[in-house]
Every structure is written in C-alpha cells, then in structure tokens.
Copies of this chain bind each other. A is one copy, B any other.
Amino acid sequence: MQRVTIMDVAARAKLSPSTVSLYFRKPGAVSAAASASIARAIEALDYVPNLMAGGLAAASSRVASIIVPSVRNAFFAETVAAMQAELGKQRLQVMLGHTEYDEREEEDLVRTALSWAPAAIVLTGLSHSAVTRRLLRDSHVPVVEIWELGGEPIDMAVGFHHAEVGSMAASHLMQRGRKRLVFLGARLQEDRRAGQRAQGFVDTARSVPDVSAEIIRHPAPATAEVGAMLLAEALRRCPEVDGIACSNDHIALGAMFECQRLGVAIPGRLSVVGFGDLSFSAACNPSMTTIRPPGDLIGKEAARLLIARIASTDATTERAVIDTRFSLLHRQSS
C-alpha cells in the first residue's frame, strides 16, 4: 500500500513513463488513443502527481512566491487575489509571505522562496536590502516588483508613482479653492509609499503662492480611530485648515466622523480626500472623494508579465516597467 507513481500509471496504460510524463507536460504531443488510456489509468489508480519530484528533475517548480507587507491590508489582498486568479489559470501555485514592513523579514522570505526554485518571485515596493537584491539577481528567477515606481527595479515592475498621488490630491484641493492644506498620515516611516504620497502632497502645495501645507503623523497603523485623532490634532495645530488629504481611506473616514462629531461641515468648511476607494468610501455620507489605486490591475499585469517571461525560452525578454496610473474619484467630501 504505497504511493501511486507515474510508473504505475504507465504500466496500467501499457505505455512508458516518458509518455505519461509527456501527457502532463505537453498534452498535444501524445496521440488521442494514448491520452485516453492514460486518463483511464489515472482515474482508476487515483494518481496524484508528485510536483516535488517533477520540480527537482526539471530544476524549477511551477510556484510563484508572492511577498507583501501584509495581506490584512486590503490593497495587497486585492492584488494577491487577482494575481492568484491569473496564475492559477496557468497552473502556477502561489506561495505567500508577509514581511510586516520589515526588510530583514523580507530577506528571509526571499531566501526561503529561492529554496523552492520558484518560477517567479513577486516583491512589494522597490526598496530591499542589498542581500535581497544580490540573491535575486544571482538566482536568475524572474522578479516583479509591485505597487511602486520611480526607482531602479531588480527586473520588472508594475505600479505607479506615489508622489504623483499626493500631488494629485493637493492639486484637486487647490482647484476647489483650498489653501490651508494638511496631510494626515499613519505609519509614514514603515510605509514608505504613504510617505511618498505625503511628500508629493506638500511639494506640490508649497510650490503655489499663498498655499500652506503640512504633514501630521501618527506612528500607529492606519485605522479610523487614528484618523479621528489626527483630524482633532490638525484642527488644534492649524485651526484655519480647509483641505485634508489622508494616507488612506481609513484615516479619511475617521477624520470625517470626527468632523461630524465636532460639527465641522464637509465639504462646506473642510474638503477631504482619501486614498484607496475602500468598500465604504462611495457609500459614506457625504461620499468620499478618493484616489483609487488599481490593485486589481497591478495583480493582473504582474501575472501577465510573469507568465510571458516564463513562457519565453529566450531570456532576452525586455525588462518591462508598467505604470498602471490611478484615478481621482470626485465625490461629495470635496
């Protein structure tokens, strides 16, 4: 009573193991008669291929290792889900790793990922330890970095420029006649990309005469509670504030609720712009103006790039960098 192998299937189908192997790898290359009898044998024996043996022999596995800060974050969850859906169609497995915004952790995850001779590795952002970069380069495994553009990618990249997001938020607020701008940011040190949005925001605002802009920070992760606290602080530190941009919609929602409690009219006295277009943003009251990052598209495009690279035998495929852009959804809060 031991494991059914490809040999058992071959014996039962009265064919050689090579043909059965071929049946899995290049179905078109096996005759219809042989295919049918192999299929019957598989069925009868309940054969489950051993992908580790296959991967070992082929010196590469059909695994894509995806490394994100955390799948608790709706942005990355969306991208991971989209990517998994696309990769799954090509029978590529997804191995998942969480860095929790820690570069050392990421390095460990990359090391482990490489132990599986993966077909591809996906990393979040462009900022990695020197060791991570070396490991990845030496491995010759296709790499896609997602959710950030603007630096030098290791290999391929799919994402957008976060500074431009901040810039767009500032422009929008100024277009609405706002001049005293504040950026509410949670966890700006760990979350480099949120930091870039903040920086883009103040840079753009301050380049215009008569407009002031400042950043108010909180070290905790972005939640509505933190948003409420940040708004209260903004009002304290800068009572004449009339335009608010937030590091994401959680913060914006908390800020809007706090305004409601304090009787600050939105958008009458204060305009609010978020980032993310989360599940509640369109529905809330007033509905939230926000900038929508295409998390889904990032996943799809990253998968597409990887699949193309894996398929192409010649390793000279170009090192694609895809700018997915993003869009501002103008709603009632501004």
Is A29 close to B, CB under 8 A? no
Number of interface residues of A (CB under 8 A): 57
Is A97 close to B, CB under 8 A? yes
- Which residues 246-283 of A sit at the B interface, judged by CB distance below 8 A? 250, 253-254, 257, 260-261, 279-280, 282-283
Knowing A53-B56, A116-B51, say if A84 contacts B111 (CB, 8 Å): no
A52-B117, A81-B98 given; 13 more Cβ-contact pairs under 8 Å: A3-B59, A48-B111, A48-B114, A48-B139, A50-B56, A71-B71, A72-B81, A84-B97, A93-B95, A224-B279, A224-B284, A227-B283, A228-B283
Is A96 close to B, CB under 8 A? yes
On whether the beta carbons of B96 and A96 are closer than 8 Å, the reply is yes
Interchain Cβ contacts under 8 Å between A and B, 8 examples: A50-B115, A72-B74, A72-B77, A72-B78, A84-B98, A95-B96, A224-B279, A260-B285
Q: In the complex, which residues of chain B have a beta carbon less than 8 angstroms from the beta carbon of A88?
A: 97-98
Is A35 close to B, CB under 8 A? no
Checking B56, B93, B94, B223 against A283 with a beta-carbon cut-off of 8 angstroms, the contacting residue is B223
Is A138 close to B, CB under 8 A? yes
- Which residues 174-229 of A sit at the B interface, judged by CB distance below 8 A? 223-225, 227-228
Measured CA separation A279–B211 after assembly (Å): 33
On whether the beta carbons of B77 and A71 are closer than 8 Å, the reply is yes
On whether the beta carbons of B81 and A71 are closer than 8 Å, the reply is yes
Q: In the complex, which residues of chain B have a beta carbon less than 8 angstroms from the beta carbon of A50?
A: 56, 115, 117
On whether the beta carbons of B56 and A52 are closer than 8 Å, the reply is yes
Measured CA separation A98–B89 after assembly (Å): 12
Copies per complex of this chain: 2
On whether the beta carbons of B260 and A280 are closer than 8 Å, the reply is no
- Which residues 50-104 of A sit at the B interface, judged by CB distance below 8 A? 50-53, 55-56, 59, 61, 63, 70-72, 74, 77-78, 80-81, 84-85, 88, 91, 93-98
Checking B61, B95, B260 against A94 with a beta-carbon cut-off of 8 angstroms, the contacting residue is B95
| CB-CB nearest 6 A-B residue pairs | A224-B283, A51-B115, A52-B55, A257-B285, A96-B96, A52-B56
On whether the beta carbons of A283 and B61 are closer than 8 Å, the reply is no
- Which residues 219-243 of A sit at the B interface, judged by CB distance below 8 A? 223-225, 227-228
On whether the beta carbons of B223 and A279 are closer than 8 Å, the reply is yes
On whether the beta carbons of B46 and A138 are closer than 8 Å, the reply is yes
Shortest A53–chain B CB gap in Å is: 5
On whether the beta carbons of B227 and A254 are closer than 8 Å, the reply is no
Q: In the complex, which residues of chain B have a beta carbon less than 8 angstroms from the beta carbon of A16?
A: none
Q: In the complex, which residues of chain B have a beta carbon less than 8 angstroms from the beta carbon of A70?
A: 81
Q: In the complex, which residues of chain B have a beta carbon less than 8 angstroms from the beta carbon of A135?
A: 48
Is A112 close to B, CB under 8 A? yes
Q: In the complex, which residues of chain B have a beta carbon less than 8 angstroms from the beta carbon of A93?
A: 95, 112, 116
Shortest A232–chain B CB gap in Å is: 12
Q: In the complex, which residues of chain B have a beta carbon less than 8 angstroms from the beta carbon of A27?
A: none
